Amino acid sequence: MRGKEGKEKREHHREIENLRQQIRHHNYRYYVLDEPEISDAEYDRLFKELEELERRHPELVTPDSPTQRVGAKPLEAFGTYEHSLPLLSLKSVSEESEVRDFDERVRKTLGVGAAGKEEEKVEYVVEPKIDGLAVELVYEDGVLAVGSTRGDGRVGEEITQNLRTVKTVPLRIFSGSACAPLRLLEVRGEVFMPVSEFKALNKELGRKGRKMFANPRNAAAGSVRQLDPRVTASRPLDFFAYGVGRVERGEGKEGGKGEEGGEGKEFSTQWEVLNFLRAAGFKVSPLARRFGNIEEVVKYYEEVRQAREELDYEIDGIVVKVDSLEQQSRLGTISRSPRWAVAFKFPPREEFTRVREIVVQVGRTGVLTPVAVLEPVQIGGVTVSRATLHNEDALRKKDVRVGDTVVVQRAGDVIPEVVGVVKSRRTGAEREFKMPDRCPVCGAAVVKERGRGKGREGPVRGKVREGPVVRCVGVSCVAQLRERLKHFASLRALNIEGLGEKVVEQLVGRGLVSDAADLFFLTKQDLLGLERLGEKSAENLLNALEKSKQTTLARLIYALGIRHVGEQTASLLAERFGDLEALRSASYEDLVEVEGVGPEVAKSVLLFFRQASTKELLAKLERAGVKCEKRGVRGEKEEKMKGKTFVFTGRISMPREEVKKMVEQLGGRVASSVSKKTDFVVAGEGVGGKLAKAERLGVKVIGEAEFRETFL
Ligand code: IVH
């Protein structure tokens, strides 16, 4: 009996392994080579067969089975992972001459060409610099064991279950003649999102009224850092391998350890590494080349730059690496960047186009921003049809006219900008543009405010721009209303999920809301009348509105959109006055007494509460049932914050300075490094080494959401 069972089991095992091999092969053909050999239907049949067998024999399921990409449970938080060899960063250059300088330094340091070294040559491997997220994959005995982000190069986040969902990340590497079984293999590369997929994803997110990503890199980073791997699995991510870390053979023979120079001791050149990675089943850039001198490298840079426009992924330059690993180790590393490699970046993307029209956009507080409407051009895979002209002064300085041929730039995730005018192309038919003296949307008068205008609500966030600000003073301007509603609903205000731009536009356009409070009186019937809003979305939105009625005073003050009252000031005011009524009846003296509130803010607050429209809005909000936590709750929170020391790491959604002030106002302290005295480490996005230290010292690590929830 036993024997028979054993035999059957072995057979099932063989059958299952056989199916897995086939599926792995077809995955590779489809995802990595983009050359499928069988139809989707045939593939599905194989996959279903494997699933069925594994369902019947769960004891035979292994983590490297193709069925096991998704399936892990959502995490509470990511753990940290210390890389055994640091993931280095690259020094960037943007001029040809700098690349030649790099070559010279390399040859000089190696002594190439010097007496006695006439024979030694330097070869370079050139790869595209993929604009994504650096990760490391650790394979133990050929099976993916750990996946992590780069983090600060030394310590990253452990995101194994998310990286497993990326189809071009092998769960098991191929072992053939090119690569004898390896006990350990660390592969480095870049996770990215194809541009076409990024656009489709954003469209989908926009349709659902969710926040969209600024660019493919953010989309990739955001997707890979999802706590629920099912979300990551639904995101179209891809992976290019470009290097190895530690490599150990089966017999215990070790590769390099501890030092950068020791990376990939099993190999003698970077070129070999790339070929090995390809043979092991990874996707390696087909644009990688090897050259015998720097002139060829410079020439190839131009070629890649041309090719860039055709690629479905973003690259921001080329990476030039000394090919010989022995030379690499002789060259060594300074301050986390190797002396043997350099990133030769592409210049910001620019394109010529024509200005069809100049229009004026009205912001939340009525600021008028001139915007050039362009003949659509493709700039780096993105269609650009509008570009900001910032303000009247900037527009005058550049002398942009309707009909002009202009140079438009799109750099990183910044809004496209008109860089300059090609005056030689002028025909005389161009028209100068004058800022209107009435609001183009509501027709109310505009006022010019002298002095420095803060660009915060303008196109370049956070930067202070010179020049007068032109502002619409209309009280019932629909453009302002739209922007105010968007602000009211935003994440850091009342956080009303599902109230995206499209919905707001329709609500205002159809006259369904004339101030923020009206949102709470919307009925399902109202919402079902909107375009592209189904039954389910309507219900979700109503629920979100209901949920948002329970809020904090600080959030509500911020949501009201009082000029000069940002999140931090709102928090201070909430602290000092405790409820809206007290704030409303505060005098100028009361206001300026609050530390951190100056005359400008005080005047603005007074003015806001004096307006009839404000009184009406507040009464309506009360009627709608919008409630802020009472002081008691705040008091409790303050108790929690008092005397506590926080260390922030990674990216959080507020400027660090603001958070620091806020914590201090509430009786806490912010330190820059983790020690035994730290009470909480607040981990934002892309967190680094501080987490590892926190873990070592047993300091509690919380996310930004928890921090807000608990303390603010
Ligand atoms: S090599 C030399 N190769 O660029 C060690 N990096 O600043 C550095 N990157 O964080 C890594 N494509 O995310 C290397 N072909 C490539 C790359 C590449 C993109 C990124 C990587 C790293 C950053 C280096």
279: CATH: 3.30.470.30
pLDDT tens-digit readout, 455-471: 333 333 333 344 678 99
What is the per-residue pLDDT for 106? 97
What is the per-residue pLDDT for 365? 86
**CATH number of domain containing 40:** 1.10.287.610
- Of 210-224, 323-337, 615-629, which range is least confident? 210-224
- Specify if 43 maps to a domain: yes
Query: Is pLDDT above 80 for 592?
Result: yes
Query: Is pLDDT above 90 for 235?
Result: yes
Sort residue 153 into left (φ over 0), alpha (ψ -120 to 50) or beta: left
Query: Is pLDDT above 80 for 212?
Result: no
**Residue 286's pLDDT band (cuts 50, 70, 90):** very high
What is the per-residue pLDDT for 241? 98
Residue range 483-507: mean pLDDT, rounded: 91
- Judge if the beta carbon of residue 130 lies within 6 A of ligand 1: yes
Strands (E), 193-251: 238-249
> Tokens 């002298």 — which residue?
450
CA distance 625 to 280: 62
Residue range 173-196: mean pLDDT, rounded: 83
What is the per-residue pLDDT for 36? 86
Ligand 1 atom nearest to CA at 129:
12
59 Cα to the center of ligand 1, angstroms: 41
Q: Same domain, yes or no, for 395 and 247?
A: no
Q: Same domain, yes or no, for 499 and 610?
A: yes
- Judge if the beta carbon of residue 152 lies within 6 A of ligand 1: no
- Of 70-74, 300-304, 455-459, 655-659, which range is least confident? 455-459
pLDDT tens-digit readout, 441-458: 999 999 988 654 443 333
**Residue 19's pLDDT band (cuts 50, 70, 90):** very high
- Specify if 284 maps to a domain: yes
- Specify if 174 maps to a domain: yes
- Specify if 86 maps to a domain: no
Query: Is pLDDT above 50 for 238?
Result: yes
pLDDT tens-digit readout, 31-52: 888 888 888 889 999 999 999 9
Q: Same domain, yes or no, for 258 and 398?
A: no
Given 430, 446, 472, the domain boundary residue is 472
Q: Which residues pair with 317 in a beta bridge?
A: 345
What is the per-residue pLDDT for 381? 61
* Three-class SS state of 280: coil
- Specify if 93 maps to a domain: no
CA distance 691 to 660: 19
Query: Is pLDDT above 80 for 254?
Result: no
187 Cα to the center of ligand 1, angstroms: 12
- Judge if the beta carbon of residue 417 lies within 6 A of ligand 1: no
- Judge if the beta carbon of residue 242 lies within 6 A of ligand 1: yes
Q: How far lies 710's CA from each of 556, 632, 636, in Å?
A: 17, 14, 10
Given 472, 499, 517, the domain boundary residue is 472
- Of 88, 129, 323, 337, best ligand 1 pocket probe by most atoms within 8 Å of the beta carbon: 129
CA distance 150 to 685: 12
* Ligand 1, atom 21: closest residue by C-alpha: 134
**Residue 626's pLDDT band (cuts 50, 70, 90):** very high
- Judge if the beta carbon of residue 240 lies within 6 A of ligand 1: no
347 Cα to the center of ligand 1, angstroms: 18
- Judge if the beta carbon of residue 338 lies within 6 A of ligand 1: yes
Q: Same domain, yes or no, for 415 and 492?
A: no
- Judge if the beta carbon of residue 244 lies within 6 A of ligand 1: no
The reply to whether 536 belongs to the active site is no
- Of 109-118, 343-352, 369-378, which range is least confident? 109-118
- Of 90, 93, 328, best ligand 1 pocket probe by most atoms within 8 Å of the beta carbon: 90
> Which one is predicted more confidently, 87 or 114?
87
With CA atoms as reference, report the closest residue to 490 among 522, 457, 533, 523. Answer: 457
* Ligand 1, atom 17: closest residue by C-alpha: 129
Ligand 1 atom nearest to CA at 134:
13
Residue range 215-229: mean pLDDT, rounded: 89
93 Cα to the center of ligand 1, angstroms: 14
- Of 139-143, 628-632, 665-669, which range is least confident? 628-632
**Residue 494's pLDDT band (cuts 50, 70, 90):** very high
Residue range 525-541: mean pLDDT, rounded: 91
Q: Same domain, yes or no, for 281 and 146?
A: yes
Query: Is pLDDT above 70 for 689?
Result: no
* Ligand 1, atom 13: closest residue by C-alpha: 134
- Specify if 88 maps to a domain: no
pLDDT tens-digit readout, 535-552: 999 999 999 999 999 999
Q: Same domain, yes or no, for 465 and 552?
A: no
Residue range 316-330: mean pLDDT, rounded: 96
Query: Is pLDDT above 80 for 637?
Result: no
**CATH number of domain containing 390:** 2.40.50.140
Given 628, 653, 687, the domain boundary residue is 628
Q: Same domain, yes or no, for 167 and 207?
A: yes
User: Rg of the chain's alpha carbons, rounded to an integer?
Assistant: 30
Residue range 270-289: mean pLDDT, rounded: 95
* Three-class SS state of 535: helix
Which of 7, 48, 121, 129 is catalytic? The answer is 129
Q: How far lies 152's CA from each of 157, 281, 684, 689, in Å?
A: 10, 28, 13, 6
- Judge if the beta carbon of residue 134 lies within 6 A of ligand 1: yes
> Which one is predicted more confidently, 623 or 212?
623
Q: Same domain, yes or no, for 579 and 516?
A: yes
- Judge if the beta carbon of residue 392 lies within 6 A of ligand 1: no
> Which one is predicted more confidently, 663 or 400?
400
- Judge if the beta carbon of residue 629 lies within 6 A of ligand 1: no
191 Cα to the center of ligand 1, angstroms: 11
* Ligand 1, atom 5: closest residue by C-alpha: 88
The share of the chain scoring above pLDDT 90, in percent, equals 56
What is the per-residue pLDDT for 663? 86
- Of 177-191, 284-298, 503-517, which range is least confident? 177-191
What is the per-residue pLDDT for 503? 94
What is the per-residue pLDDT for 666? 79
- Of 192, 242, 283, 323, best ligand 1 pocket probe by most atoms within 8 Å of the beta carbon: 242
What is the per-residue pLDDT for 296? 96
- Judge if the beta carbon of residue 190 lies within 6 A of ligand 1: yes
- Within 10 angstroms of residue 486's Cβ, the number of other Cβ atoms is 18
Query: Is pLDDT above 60 for 697?
Result: yes
- Judge if the beta carbon of residue 333 lies within 6 A of ligand 1: no
Q: Same domain, yes or no, for 271 and 162?
A: yes
134 Cα to the center of ligand 1, angstroms: 7
Domain of residue 688: give its range.
Answer: 636-711
CA distance 329 to 341: 12
Pairing of strands 669-671, 645-649: parallel
74 Cα to the center of ligand 1, angstroms: 29
Query: Is pLDDT above 60 for 633?
Result: no
| Cβ partners under 8 Å of residue 364, min gap 6 | 457, 480, 483, 484, 486, 487, 561
* Ligand 1, atom 16: closest residue by C-alpha: 129
- Specify if 109 maps to a domain: no
- Specify if 66 maps to a domain: no
- Judge if the beta carbon of residue 245 lies within 6 A of ligand 1: no
> Tokens 């999102």 — which residue?
193
Sort residue 646 into left (φ over 0), alpha (ψ -120 to 50) or beta: beta
The share of the chain scoring above pLDDT 70, in percent, equals 92
Q: Same domain, yes or no, for 528 and 648?
A: no
With CA atoms as reference, report the closest residue to 139 among 197, 91, 189. Answer: 189
pLDDT tens-digit readout, 419-428: 899 999 999 9
Helix/strand/coil percent split, the chain, to 5: 40, 25, 35
Q: Same domain, yes or no, for 341 and 359?
A: no
The per-residue pLDDT of the chain, averaged, comes to 87
Q: Same domain, yes or no, for 358 and 331?
A: no
293 Cα to the center of ligand 1, angstroms: 21
**CATH number of domain containing 651:** 3.40.50.10190
117 Cα to the center of ligand 1, angstroms: 31
**Residue 200's pLDDT band (cuts 50, 70, 90):** confident
The number of domains in the chain is 5
319 Cα to the center of ligand 1, angstroms: 7
Query: Is pLDDT above 50 for 560?
Result: yes
Q: Which residues pair with 388 in a beta bridge?
A: 371, 417
129 Cα to the center of ligand 1, angstroms: 6
Ligand 1 atom nearest to CA at 133:
13
Query: What's the DSSP call for residue 260?
Result: G
What is the per-residue pLDDT for 251? 57
- Judge if the beta carbon of residue 90 lies within 6 A of ligand 1: yes
Query: Is pLDDT above 60 for 252?
Result: no
Query: Is pLDDT above 80 for 115?
Result: no
- Judge if the beta carbon of residue 88 lies within 6 A of ligand 1: yes
